[in-house]
A and B are shown apart, each in its own frame.
Chain A
């Protein structure tokens, strides 16, 4: 800022503007390769989903645009000839349950660790966060035994039980950060006004922290959909799978790939999740980096 001002004073305005334009052109030019790398696979899915089958398999035409009329047939196949509708329903029900379990456990835990000055709360917080880093590949074999003991194998309920193992640690940590930002005075004022410990939490702190609580719900939802291993290992009946597992395992029959339907199925769920997650990405990064100590 300061540099811009001093330069503006010494140089005539026209060359200043030209300089600015040149700078923009350089930056955009450097960003274009990154944009192509990042977005092309998604664009490719999108256009594949709306192409007619023969249009996919012609190497003599430019493949980046429609050479035959766009079609909705791939989605028609998806909803009428596969379990896709069931997978969608499974995905949303699983995520809703996981969010509920996560909220009921992580909100009180985050509050207790952030505000109540419990002995050892610092280490407990770190320990809970570290469990987020125990990778599913180490846990999935013992968990498969536990899922079997509970009689939940081959049902999406197994995923409702298992997904909170990563959403609770992450959301507890995230909520600790939120609760720490609420000024102590507000709570004290509530206590003076006659709220008990629980009253102050439920009636004063929780409403103020609503954005934090909603953010946790978003993460419980989106993190649930990032899973592949648990779904693959615990749920094998075709109608019990969530979308991210069902699409790659059920829509490929033998060696035949229904690319149009595959891409449509993947995008229909993937894009909304990606957009939602996009809005909260900074909170995610803050949660894993800046959340520590603040």
Chain B
């Protein structure tokens, strides 16, 4: 910053000042070059660092505080009540149901999207005409804002005019509307969670495929050729060359998906709001309903924080991976 005011511009005097190093150190003998660079650097870094500290780090700590207080929307004065909120959540049947649903949701969705994503990635790895267009179309679910695409699913899951049911009915797999086997996707406790999981899988399997594809294409052809020359079979090449090289990228993709799937409220909230009969109640929906709708900020924060131990293993795994890589 100071550097620019002293030597900015093409003015010949300033040029001379930069080229002749002694002149500069005479001008500011007490500030070394390194110190000036660092000062400049921290000045540039400060706005972003402050923003993130004030609006991410501080709220995170604040949520720890909320979780041990009796704060509510109506009453701005919060009192310390210790671990009462956690204990109350622990004793709430609904909390355990939500935890179970969250875990089922995450695990089933992860299995399905990795199967679909892997097969799609292998297909997109081939050379064929129109690849760019097809790739562009296939990733649309991931690029469409989630609140918007969920609406389409809500309409497709309509209790009477569901297009899915129309197809199933025409195929003879289910009867007419009103008959015994007519599935009410969002109204039947047995189907609702599966319906929500399907939307999550639909949205994120292109992401899995693209991450995997990025991993595959990051493996240099020379390395594969070298392995081939050395007599490795396809599976040996995959096991000993490709897999270790794409592992870090896969881990990071996995972490992102874990965070976004476990903490996402919009799919379930927009489709069922946690119903019917709490069949789709997951932790984020419970935290929202208790924290905002019932106005019990402390209890809501405590429930949201129960997500942290679920997210932590993935986070640590990835941090270790980042650290191991070269800078």
Which residues from chain A sit less than 8 Å from chain B, CB to CB? 23-24, 27-28, 30-31, 34-35, 37-39, 41-42, 44-45, 48, 56-57, 59, 63, 101, 104-106, 108-109, 111-113, 116-119, 121-122, 124, 126, 128, 130-131, 133-146, 161-162, 164-165, 168-169, 172, 191-199, 201-202, 222, 225-226, 228-229, 232-233, 244-245, 247-248, 257, 259, 262-263, 266-267, 269-271, 273-275, 277-278, 281-282, 285-286, 288-290, 292-293
Contacts of B197 in A (CB 8 A): none
Return the contact of A145 from the options B62, B264, B325, B326 (Cβ within 8 A).
B62
The answer to whether B18 touches A229 (Cβ under 8 A) is no
What total of chain B residues lie within 8 Å of the partner, measured CB to CB? 114
B8, B59, B147 — most chain A CB neighbours (10 Å): B147
In chain A, what residue has the closest Cβ to B311? A135
- Which 9 pairs show the lowest CB-CB distances between chains A and B? A196-B3, A135-B263, A109-B48, A196-B4, A108-B44, A116-B41, A277-B143, A142-B59, A142-B62
CB distance from A200 to the nearest CB of B (A): 9
Within 8 A of A (CB), among B111-143: 116, 119-120, 123, 126, 128-129, 134, 136-143
The answer to whether A116 touches B37 (Cβ under 8 A) is yes
Question: Can you pick out 27 interface pairs between chain A and chain B where the beta carbons lie within 8 Å of each other?
Answer: A38-B137, A41-B149, A59-B166, A108-B45, A121-B41, A131-B57, A137-B263, A137-B265, A137-B283, A137-B288, A138-B60, A139-B56, A142-B60, A146-B59, A165-B55, A198-B4, A222-B143, A229-B284, A266-B151, A267-B148, A270-B149, A273-B145, A278-B143, A285-B214, A289-B248, A289-B253, A290-B214
Within 8 A of A (CB), among B43-73: 43-45, 47-49, 51-52, 55-60, 62-63, 66, 71
CB distance from A165 to the nearest CB of B (A): 5
Question: Is B23 interfacial (CB 8 A cutoff)?
Answer: no
In chain A, what residue has the closest Cβ to B297? A141
Question: Is B22 interfacial (CB 8 A cutoff)?
Answer: no
Contacts of B15 in A (CB 8 A): 193-194
Contacts of B140 in A (CB 8 A): 38-39, 42, 274, 278
Return the contact of B123 from the options A31, A117, A169, A290 (Cβ within 8 A).
A31
The answer to whether B252 touches A194 (Cβ under 8 A) is no
The answer to whether A164 touches B44 (Cβ under 8 A) is no
CB distance from A21 to the nearest CB of B (A): 11
Contacts of B40 in A (CB 8 A): 112, 116, 197-198
Q: A24-B128, A143-B55, A197-B37 are in contact. Are A38 and B144 (CB under 8 A)?
A: no
CA distance A45 to B301 in the complex (A): 36
Q: A141-B66, A169-B52, A229-B265 are in contact. Are A38 and B138 (CB under 8 A)?
A: yes
Return the contact of B301 from the options A118, A135, A141, A193 (Cβ within 8 A).
A141
The answer to whether A195 touches B7 (Cβ under 8 A) is yes
Contacts of B137 in A (CB 8 A): 35, 38-39
Return the contact of A34 from the options B66, B123, B308 (Cβ within 8 A).
B123
Within 8 A of A (CB), among B11-31: 11, 14-15, 18-19
Q: Secondary structure at chain B's binding surface: helix, strand, loop or mixed? A: helix
16 additional contacts (CB under 8 A) given A108-B47, A273-B145: A31-B138, A34-B116, A42-B149, A105-B47, A112-B45, A117-B37, A122-B327, A128-B52, A140-B288, A168-B51, A168-B52, A194-B11, A196-B4, A228-B146, A228-B269, A266-B149
CB distance from A226 to the nearest CB of B (A): 5
CA distance A236 to B63 in the complex (A): 22
The answer to whether A199 touches B8 (Cβ under 8 A) is yes
CA distance A192 to B14 in the complex (A): 11
In chain B, what residue has the closest Cβ to A291? B252
The answer to whether A194 touches B292 (Cβ under 8 A) is no
In chain B, what residue has the closest Cβ to A277? B143
In chain A, what residue has the closest Cβ to B128? A27
Q: A193-B15, A228-B265 are in contact. Are A105 and B48 (CB under 8 A)?
A: yes
The answer to whether A118 touches B42 (Cβ under 8 A) is yes
CA distance A142 to B291 in the complex (A): 10
Question: Is B256 interfacial (CB 8 A cutoff)?
Answer: yes
Q: A28-B128, A35-B137 are in contact. Are A288 and B62 (CB under 8 A)?
A: no
CA distance A97 to B211 in the complex (A): 31
The answer to whether A145 touches B6 (Cβ under 8 A) is no
The answer to whether B47 touches A262 (Cβ under 8 A) is no
CA distance A259 to B129 in the complex (A): 37
Question: B88-96, B153-161, B184-192, B237-245: which lies at the A interface?
Answer: B153-161
Question: Is B36 interfacial (CB 8 A cutoff)?
Answer: yes
The answer to whether B288 touches A197 (Cβ under 8 A) is no
CA distance A130 to B311 in the complex (A): 12
Q: A108-B47, A145-B297 are in contact. Are A45 and B152 (CB under 8 A)?
A: yes
CB distance from A255 to the nearest CB of B (A): 11
Q: A172-B48, A281-B143 are in contact. Are A116 and B326 (CB under 8 A)?
A: no
Question: Is B322 interfacial (CB 8 A cutoff)?
Answer: yes
Question: Is B218 interfacial (CB 8 A cutoff)?
Answer: yes
Question: Is B196 interfacial (CB 8 A cutoff)?
Answer: no
CB distance from B151 to the nearest CB of A (A): 5
The answer to whether A44 touches B62 (Cβ under 8 A) is no
CA distance A162 to B129 in the complex (A): 44
Contacts of B214 in A (CB 8 A): 282, 285-286, 289-290
The answer to whether B138 touches A34 (Cβ under 8 A) is yes
